[in-house]
Amino acid sequence: MIVLANDHGGLILKQPLIEVLNEMDIPFRDIGTNSTESTDYPLWGYKAAQLVASGECERGIVMCGTGIGISLSANKIKGIRCVVCTDCYSAKLSRAHNDTNMLALGGRVVGPDLAKMIVQIWLETPFDGGERHARRVKMIMDIERDQML
């Protein structure tokens, strides 16, 4: 289950992303907003991140104007590794090397077709799982727990 959340600036990407998820036969939960009225992105980043951190949703895709504010908000929640992507290479490597569990996109930065490609690649790419990358991801999580030696 993928959680989708966005502010007014990210709303433009929602329908294209729903198309990709449907094409890939991946279930999703859209928690809003579905309005163009101005709203605060931290709220949406927080709500989506909570669902991922709790295990209720496997991964999350969040959208705001740039992808920046909503990703910063999501990354404040323990267990979240949220990446802002504007290109397919970063989307792929963020999964393979960093095991990201959330993706952020900017509705005022990437067009719908590029956003769809980024999402497809991000969803299809598994974590590499090799010792080197696993060690580094663990180090990130150790920082979060203040247990970095």
Binding site for ligand RB5 (CB under 6 A): 7, 9, 41, 64-66, 68-69
Q: What share of the chain is helix, strand, coil (3-state, %, to 5)?
A: 45, 15, 40
Q: Would you say 128 and 94 are in contact if contact means Cβ atoms under 8 Å apart? A: no
User: Least separation, in Å, of the C-beta of 66 and ligand RB5?
Assistant: 4
Among 8, 57, 64, 85, the active-site one is 64
Q: Where are the alpha helices (DSSP H) in the chain?
A: 14-23, 41-53, 68-74, 88-96, 112-124, 131-144
Measured from the CB of residue 9, what is the shortest distance to ligand RB5 in angstroms? 3
CB of 33: closest distance to ligand RB5 in angstroms? 11
Tell me whether residue 66 or residue 120 sits nearer to ligand RB5 (CB atom). Answer: 66
For ligand RB5, the closer of residues 109 and 137 by Cβ is: 109
Quick check: helix, strand or coil at residue 99?
Answer: coil
* 133 a catalytic residue: no
* Active-site residue, 88 included: no
Amino acid in the structure at residue 64: C
Q: Which residues are catalytic?
A: 64, 97
